[in-house]
Amino acid sequence: MPLQVSDYSWQQTKTAVFLSLPLKGVCIRDTDVFCTENYLKVNFPPFLFEAFLYAPIDDENSKAKVGNDTIVFTLYKKEAAMWESLSVTGVDKEMKQRIREKSILQAQERAKEATEAKAAAKREDQKYALSVMMKIEEEERKKIEDMKENERIKATKELEAWKEYQRKAEEQKKIEREEKLCQKEKQIKEERKKLKSKSLTRNSASRNLAAKGRNSENIFTEKLKEDSIPAPRSVGSIKINFTPRVFPTALRESQVAEEEEWLHKQAEARRAMNTDIPELCDLKEEEKNPEWLKDKGNKLFATENYLAAINAYNLAIRLNNKIPLLYLNRAACHLKLKNLHKAIEDSSKAYRIMKQHLRLIHPTKLYKLMLRRFGM
């Protein structure tokens, strides 16, 4: 049975009541305060304080301050008036029980309303946050679409400019071809005129020689001797010895015969192609090797001299157009120079060459090469 606290003090004004309640050495954490419009209870075991208030108060704005083993309540009145006492007098036990139950129900309803209001506010916050996120995502999506559209327009303009450049280049080439044809025609006409003049002079000379007789025959024979073709040069042979090539691979994996055959074919192909390329006249013998030109292009690419690297790869491709790595390197140069279409063309060409090489290898030979490669 809790002990009722009676040694409290209170004061009032027309608008507020000030109640001071001693805790009597009880810890603040063990104190429980319950307050409604007409009921105030403070439970701090083993003590209990109850007050059935004289008039309704504003329990939402009322305050309680704990300190120095004392609780000080500031209770604001709903109606400005002076109270005759703090608690209602002449209240029996049943009335007190009804007031307690009514206060508990009011407190539960308020707690329920507060919980519902809090949940409603949380839902509203979630809806607002969702709407804000959707708006942000819509703006981002619109921004991405605008960027895509701008890139598409830019690519279209670049493609049109490239087509226009190609068209002008074709027209320029056509004009140059026409000019060359005109020059050739003029040269042919001039040569024909020269041949005609020569034939006329020869006819007149032959007539003069026929009229002169034997003396003319001697002159004619002397002229033939002067115009005679010199004898051809004597044929000779030059012997060239090469340092034998050393293969670092083991004998069971060596393919000396195949590599020698391949090198022989490459040399013959280069000799056959070098005669048709005027740019090779000023190059040394080792500079006419596609591998040397490829390494030269790689060094120029490393120094970011992409145009010079493209020239090196072009010459190497003219020497041997069956090496896919040359097309890939040249595609990388075009990619650095933003020549996207040329980069695509070179990449496709390299892919076709590699695909063709794979088709030419017999499956059994390919399997054996794989076994040798992985040491199985």
pLDDT attached to residue 145: 93
Instruction: Using pLDDT thresholds of 50, 70 and 90, give the confidence band for residue 84.
Output: confident
pLDDT at 102 over 70: yes
Give mean pLDDT, residues 215-233.
51
Specify whether the CB–CB gap between 73 and 42 falls below 8 A.
Answer: no
Residue range 107-147, pLDDT digits in tens = 888 889 889 999 999 999 999 999 999 999 999 999 999 99
**In this structure, are 306 and 327 located in the same domain?**
yes
Residue range 151-207, pLDDT digits in tens = 999 999 999 999 999 999 999 999 999 998 899 888 888 888 888 877 777 666 556
pLDDT attached to residue 168: 92
**In this structure, are 68 and 105 located in the same domain?**
no
Q: Who has greater pLDDT, 88 or 266?
A: 88
Residue at 268 is within a domain: no
**In this structure, are 10 and 82 located in the same domain?**
yes
**In this structure, are 369 and 340 located in the same domain?**
yes
**In this structure, are 316 and 330 located in the same domain?**
yes
pLDDT at 334 over 80: yes
Find the CATH number of the domain harbouring 15.
2.60.40.790
Residue range 270-321, pLDDT digits in tens = 665 555 556 666 667 667 788 888 999 999 999 999 999 999 999 888 888 8
**In this structure, are 33 and 96 located in the same domain?**
no
Domain with 333, as residue range(s), is 286-374
Find the CATH number of the domain harbouring 320.
1.25.40.10
Residue at 243 is within a domain: no
Residue at 367 is within a domain: yes
**In this structure, are 293 and 356 located in the same domain?**
yes
Domain count, the chain: 3
Of 88, 111, 132, which residue is a domain's last? 88
Q: Who has greater pLDDT, 351 or 286?
A: 351
Residue at 351 is within a domain: yes
pLDDT attached to residue 269: 65
Residue at 279 is within a domain: no
Q: Who has greater pLDDT, 150 or 376?
A: 150
**In this structure, are 292 and 314 located in the same domain?**
yes
Residue at 319 is within a domain: yes
**In this structure, are 81 and 106 located in the same domain?**
no
pLDDT attached to residue 160: 92
Residue range 19-43, pLDDT digits in tens = 888 887 777 787 888 888 888 888 8
**In this structure, are 60 and 116 located in the same domain?**
no
**In this structure, are 341 and 330 located in the same domain?**
yes
- pTM (2 decimals)? 0.35
pLDDT at 375 over 70: no
pLDDT attached to residue 333: 92
Of 67, 88, 109, which residue is a domain's last? 88
Q: What gap in Å lies between CA 195 and CA 198, rounded to an integer?
A: 5
Residue range 42-81, pLDDT digits in tens = 887 888 888 888 888 888 888 888 877 788 889 898 888 8
pLDDT attached to residue 262: 74
**In this structure, are 311 and 349 located in the same domain?**
yes
Residue at 215 is within a domain: no
Q: Who has greater pLDDT, 249 or 157?
A: 157
pLDDT attached to residue 196: 80
pLDDT at 215 over 50: no
Q: Tell me what the pLDDT averaged over the chain comes to.
A: 79
pLDDT attached to residue 319: 83
pLDDT attached to residue 88: 82
Instruction: Using pLDDT thresholds of 50, 70 and 90, give the confidence band for residue 245.
Output: low
Residue at 242 is within a domain: no
- Rg (alpha carbons) of the chain, rounded to whole number: 56
pLDDT attached to residue 29: 80
pLDDT attached to residue 251: 59
pLDDT at 219 over 70: no
Of 145, 167, 189, which residue is a domain's last? 167
